[in-house]
Structure 1
Amino acid sequence: MSLRDNNKGKGLVVTSNTGLKKTHGAVARPNTSGLETLNKLAVRDVSTATKGRGRIGFIIDATASRERNWTEAQDIQASMFREVAAVGTMRLRLVHFGGGDLTAHEWKSNLDDVSADMKRVSCSAGVTQIVESLQCFVSENEASRASSIILIGDSFEEDINGLDAIAKELAIQKIKVFTFLDGHDPRAEKAFQSLSQITGGAFAKFGANMPLKDLCEGVALLSVGGTQALHRLKNQQAKTLLLTAQPK
């Protein structure tokens, strides 16, 4: 119950201390040009010290009934990039599946590239491939490992033991999984809750009071800038939920 890439197989695998004036028998003092240089360096040091980086996996399982929400999913990714711009930089990796096919795109830091990947996807019937999607992130080396994964879906049709096994592997690598359920499928709810609990993430059913957009923006802020950045999120309910995620 998921996605098929219209372009199957095309998932992209893809200063110096200048301006100082010296005087005999005295400590070197900066001239006007030197003061300007030092001030710029100081500002740069402060700004870079407060900015973070995060890698977020984005796994989407969309059934035919959720096809109308696909445009929303594209908008959510755009809003995630905008929100984290003030606190750091984000790289995102899109993974989607449908009709028995799974596509894992490369890490992207450019919104236009991510949007282009999204636009090539259309809904297609098929069983869920959540465990296989998660496996894409377990195989990452440490230098390019995800800090968090967002899973969006409305069902789970796989072996729960297989899900628990992959969840434990992700937990060892300190990769949190935030699971957001569309609807009220009891089996999916149990699986999603277990996955988030084992990895130290958070689970939520999204809807009017807990919009998916706010949840995803919150995960992005938390992954890039930590709990301090999460306070930028206006939705208090989503903020409170995400603050329950266990620290690394």
Structure 2
Amino acid sequence: MVDSPSKPRSSPVTSSGDDVRDQRLPDAERSSADAIAAFVAQARAMAPAAQGSRGRLVFALDATLSRQPTWDMACALQADMFREAAALGSLDIRLVYYRGFNECRASGWISDSAELARLMGKIDCRGGQTQIGKVLAEARRHATAAGIRAVVFVGDAMEEKVDELCAKAGELGMLKVPLFMFQEGNDPVAEQTFREMARLSGGAWCRFDPGASAQLRDLLRAAAAYAAGGRAALLRLAGSEAGAALLIGQMR
């Protein structure tokens, strides 16, 4: 657990007049370089997106207090996702984050890295439990309506009912929306759950070292390439990016 920032940043709210759309999500429905090499879950082969088409990606982050260092790191790295996608077409990202007591919010669709960085820079991490179920429910709502191609989740813990999360992950798999579960640290409960969620969704799991910006950057770039151009894009990126090579190496 890290200390909270000495100068907290305010969270965007819908009523503030801010031009970034932000909404509180409803409750979930019932129903190291070496570490990166630990990609173990397989992802179903999906039809690649057409060259020049727009990809849509849900970028979900645990913003509880222990996550502040990685949140700041993700703020610095998120532009790489847009840059990678630009070679294939373009990318729209919907930021989803949870923190504090029962707070889970989502932005509108963002197509500009500066806008995403501006939004993330206004958010401070706060203590609280995980709310991964809400993230999955949000992704499912947009899977068909908005045509999302993948969900990226970055977190270090899991404090919810495993079977419920796995059921939602399986539903995303049926909708051909893979979960890329990027785990910071070594929590065994989180690892077991994230691995299974990735498997059920047809996605991938990987652990990265705390503070390892190069590892996280490669993973985010690979996920963005997949969202923008499918499996074929990952194959092209794998020639120069370790994250993409490790990911595509586990795909059927």
Task: Tell me the TM-score normalised to structure 2 length.
Answer: 0.76
More RCO (CA 8 Å, sep 6+): 2
Residues 140-178 of structure 1: per-residue CA shift (max 9 Å, x gap): 262413100000000000000110111121112111000
Change (3 A) 1:63 1:209: closer
Give the counterpart letter for 1:235 in structure 2.
E
Structural mapping, 1:147-166, within 5 Å: 147-166=149-168
Give the counterpart letter for 2:68 in structure 1.
E
1:134 counterpart residue number: 136
Residues 182-212 of structure 1: per-residue CA shift (max 9 Å, x gap): 0000000011001100011100001359701
Alignment partners' CA distance in 1, 2:142 and 2:185: 31
1:89 counterpart residue number: 90
Does 1:239 pair with 2:245? Answer: yes
Change (3 A) 1:237 1:148: closer
Alignment partners' CA distance in 1, 2:128 and 2:10: 13
Change (3 A) 1:108 1:161: same
Does 1:7 pair with 2:9? Answer: no
Give the counterpart letter for 2:52 in structure 1.
K
1:119 counterpart residue number: 121
Give the counterpart letter for 1:12 in structure 2.
R
Unaligned runs of 5+ in 2: 24-49
Alignment partners' CA distance in 1, 2:82 and 2:248: 18
Change (3 A) 1:164 1:117: same
Change (3 A) 1:236 1:112: closer
Give the counterpart letter for 1:212 in structure 2.
L
Alignment partners' CA distance in 1, 2:22 and 2:198: 28
Structural mapping, 1:37-52, within 5 Å: 50-52=51-53
Counterpart contact for 2:222–2:243, Cα < 8 Å: no
Alignment partners' CA distance in 2, 1:77 and 1:209: 11
Counterpart contact for 1:78–1:111, Cα < 8 Å: yes
Alignment partners' CA distance in 2, 1:143 and 1:179: 23
Counterpart contact for 1:9–1:103, Cα < 8 Å: no
Task: Tell me the TM-score normalised to structure 1 length.
Answer: 0.77
Alignment partners' CA distance in 1, 2:79 and 2:162: 32
Counterpart contact for 1:76–1:213, Cα < 8 Å: yes
Counterpart contact for 1:227–1:243, Cα < 8 Å: no
Residues 28-74 of structure 1: per-residue CA shift (max 9 Å, x gap): xxxxxxxxxxxxxxxxxxxxx63232111011003433312222101
Change (3 A) 1:158 1:9: farther
Unaligned runs of 5+ in 1: 15-48
1:74 counterpart residue number: 75
Deviant stretches of 4+, over 6 Å: none
Of all paired residues, the percent bearing the same amino acid is: 34
Change (3 A) 1:196 1:82: same
Alignment partners' CA distance in 1, 2:111 and 2:251: 25
Structural mapping, 1:205-220, within 5 Å: 205-207=207-209, 211-220=215-224
Aligned partner of residue 107 in structure 1, secondary structure: strand
Of residues 140-149 and 77-86 in structure 1, the stretch that sits farther from structure 2 once superposed is 140-149
Does 1:226 pair with 2:233? Answer: no
Alignment partners' CA distance in 2, 1:72 and 1:210: 10
Alignment partners' CA distance in 2, 1:88 and 1:55: 11
